Amino acid sequence: MKKGLLLISLFYIPFCVFAQQDAWIYFLDKENVSEAIANPITILTQKAIDRKQAHQVVIDARDVPVNETYISQIKIVPGITVMAKSKWFNAIHVRGSESDIKELINFGFVAQIDFADKSLNLSKFSSQQKKQEKLENTLTMFNYGNALNQIEMFKGDALHLAGYSGTGMTVAVIDAGFPNVNTMASFQKLRDDGNLLGSYDFVHRDSNVFTGTSSNHGTWVLSNMAGYIENEFIGTAPDASYYLFVTEDALTENPVEESYWVEAVERADSLGVNIINTSLGYTTYDNPNYSYDPSDMDGNTAYITKGANIAFEKGMLLVNSAGNSGNDSWQIVGAPADARGVLSIGAVDANGHYATFSSKGNAVQPTQKPDVVAQGQASYVITENDVIVSANGTSFSSPILAGGIVCLWQALPDKTNAEIMQLVRESASQYKSPDYFLGYGIPDLQAALVMGEVLMGKSDEIQLFPNPTTGMLYFNRASDDESIWTIRLFDVLGREVKMALLSIGNNVMDISSLSNGMYLIKIDSNNTSNTIKVLKK
């Protein structure tokens, strides 16, 4: 009998062993990583924290626990037993049949499955493509659709990627009318988020700027900043808050419109507005006796220009279209874009070449005009009928860039309006050799952000660029920082894949040999540490 039992046992045990498989299930992400690292007492004991600090051991994402919601969802899968978990690997150990385990890849939060029996991994059941797509969707907040080129041109998308899309910033758009903004699907997000703060028509003295207007111009302009059609069009500051003011009477040209504009700017100041976009300009009027001469565009003659300079003194940042007179007899930047306190925006085409209609600068103006440029030829806008179309004009290059500047100021809230303007200028493509066509050129707002952080002395908040990258990573450091930086690169499974020591004169890491995907950069310097997501494309 004992032999019989022994024979049965010998036969039975191998069958059970081979029917059940062991595997590690790696998760794609963790919950509240930044908050946990910022408050380590929520994930570690004080003794553990003290030990790490004493030995300069970095507290990073690996110290954050595995997402228990993910584990709970795995546990209820029939045929699967969760045996163990690891926060360091962001993984769990499971046991079950081969087929049941392979089915776990269908959970959106599962990044990879690694069988203990290595021969089972040859089937490539884990979807690397699916993981990569999810990582890219996580990092890239928006699919810009038609509007991609016009935000990529000045690296505004990089600010969005860093989490700056206008939240907490208030913008006043001063224009000629905003038909259907209160009903259009393209502005549903703006309304649902409570970011349409108010409106007023200074021409007709009522709050209705959405109907009864003879111009659709303001709707088109607003779409460049606040428009949102998922996977088709995203404005440059989609999460900012907006006031809409009408000061332009589209049926006539009269200097009273300058006075309406000053009224609107005064109201914006009283409402705490940060940035004003104006895609209007004033040079000549229906009554020629009211018209200006080009020599009056001297930054301090026109009533609206003098009002703009006061608005600048009050702390607001004014962004204004340069004008569309490049091909006509007037040619030069008009009022109020001629003001010293206004950031005037000229236009280029999709390739960054001068758009010939864009108004030029002139020696009569007290500062470089235009200041900078953005895409204004073949720009994409959303019409009052919820249709995406292509349009020309500095009317559009101005709000396209204004939205990016909104995001920059959100990222650098301690900067003054003058400092933000100067960072934009200094980041531009021809800052050292400006001209009357492109001014200082096309800004690089990602570089402006880096410069701003360094100037603020935030050497502990280390910046790297470009991100995403195709291979080379450049690290910015304060000029007086002579320390050695230890740079460690980890993949999504928490494995260290590259390490380097950087110093002054050596601020580059080459990751071109690594596979495409998301990585975590751990930077240790002077008893401080940073963790930054990097996307290798």
Each residue's pLDDT tens digit, 315-368: 999 999 999 999 999 999 999 999 999 999 999 999 999 999 999 999 999 999
pLDDT band per the 50, 70, 90 thresholds, residue 507 = confident
pTM over 0.85: no
CATH number of the 18-126 domain? 3.30.70.920
**CA dist., res. 211 & res. 209, Å (int):** 6
* 396-425: average pLDDT: 95
Nearest to 466 by CA among 138, 160, 140, 155: 155
Which stretch of DSSP H or E encloses residue 379? Answer: strand 379-382
pLDDT at residue 533, as a whole number? 74
CATH 2.60.40.3080 for the 463-536 domain, yes or no = yes
**CA dist., res. 442 & res. 433, Å (int):** 12
**Res. 136: pLDDT tops 50:** no
pLDDT band per the 50, 70, 90 thresholds, residue 132 = very low
The count of other CB atoms within 10 Å of the CB of residue 215 is 18
Length of the chain: 537
**Res. 258: pLDDT tops 70:** yes
Instruction: Report the Cα–Cα distance between both ends of the chain, in Å, rounded.
Output: 66
More confident residue, 324 or 136: 324
User: Catalytic residues, which ones?
Assistant: 175, 217, 395
Tokens, residue 112 = 């990879």
Give residue-wise pLDDT tens across range 418-464: 999 999 999 999 999 999 999 999 999 988 887 786 555 444 456 67
Give me the amino acid identity at 8: I
Per the listing, tokens 């707002």 go with: 445
In CATH terms, the fold of domain 148-412 is Rossmann fold (3.40.50)
Which stretch of DSSP H or E encloses residue 128? Answer: helix 128-139
Least confident of 119-133, 175-189, 330-344: 119-133
| Domains of the chain by residue range | 18-126, 148-412, 463-536
Q: Which residues pair with 26 in a beta bridge?
A: 91, 112
